Amino acid sequence: MTEKVFAVIGTGAIGGYYGARLHHGGHDVHFLFNSDYQHVTEHGLTVDSHYGDYSIDKKQLNAYADTSEMPKADVILIALKTTQNHLLDTLLKPLLKPDSLVMLLQNGIGAEQEIAQHFDLPYVGGGLCFICSNKTGPGHIHHIDYGRITMGLYGEKQTTALDEFAEDLLQAGVDVEIDRNIIDARWKKLLWNIPFNGLSTVLNADTKQMMNCNELVELSRSIMGEVQQAAQTTDTLIEDALIDAMLTNTAKMKPYLTSMLLDRRHQRELELQYMYKNAIDMADKQGVSMPKTQALYQQLCFINQQIKNEG
């Protein structure tokens, strides 16, 4: 059997970590870099993890600055911010094979359908990364905690591609859960992302600071309740116990700077379309309002506009 080829588009806190895990699991992994390209060709990719070191020496690192120079891939991990999805028209095409599994390791809801339709793909995978991982410098990733991926497919279900990729990850030491309905899985991830990414960004606070304020915990719970109701409009049932579990786990985790807060601090565009507007619009079409989520989204829009003006 021919060795499977993996491609990572967006080698940051997410793509770099999981790509490095696959590399250390013995797989043929090829990484696309942007501003870090020169650095990693000289120093390699550094991944500091509480599970151990997953760094890749420069001599072993398959690093590229252009996807046209990369081999076509069996599995393509897209770990770009959703604000960069417009670049996929150029980045993704050179890597596609007729049976490639495109796996979106991104936040929010609605992207799988867009990618499948735009590239005329029979299926697109979605991976929800329950991980605390930050990029701390050029080619340098700090993995703080967790790392499980929940995966599902949009589109054609009669494929073994998802199960095979899950097995590859498991062999590389990554905890994997398969949720056949990717929409269900994305709503469950939004249950945490909508309150904690947004509130942390507005308040400029880490998760520990947030959970130390009882009033803010109750606000987070209320927003999670709105997400719960919105999810029901797509027949996704979220139990109250999941809300309780997420709040409990957040209180226990090490102080964590959410990805959106880091985007604000580094003056990068915020991921608002897929994480907030799509969810609000989907609920609104079914007559379900999300007033607290809407208010949070509007505040984030103001911050996003300031970032664009200052940029």
Residues with a known catalytic role? 189
| Cβ–Cβ under 8 Å, residues 62 and 31 | yes
DSSP state of 36: T
Task: Report which residue type is found at 64.
Answer: Y
CA distance 231 to 263: 26
CA distance 142 to 110: 29
| Cβ–Cβ under 8 Å, residues 27 and 172 | yes
Q: Looking at the chain, which runs of residues are DSSP E strands?
A: 5-9, 28-32, 46-49, 63-64, 75-78, 101-104, 123-137, 140-155, 176-181
Closest-CA residue to 12 (of 4, 28, 37): 37
Distance set, CA 205 to CA 67, 138, 142, 198, 257 (Å): 37, 24, 19, 10, 7
Neighbouring CB atoms inside 10 A of 117's CB total 12
Report the length, in residues, of the chain.
311
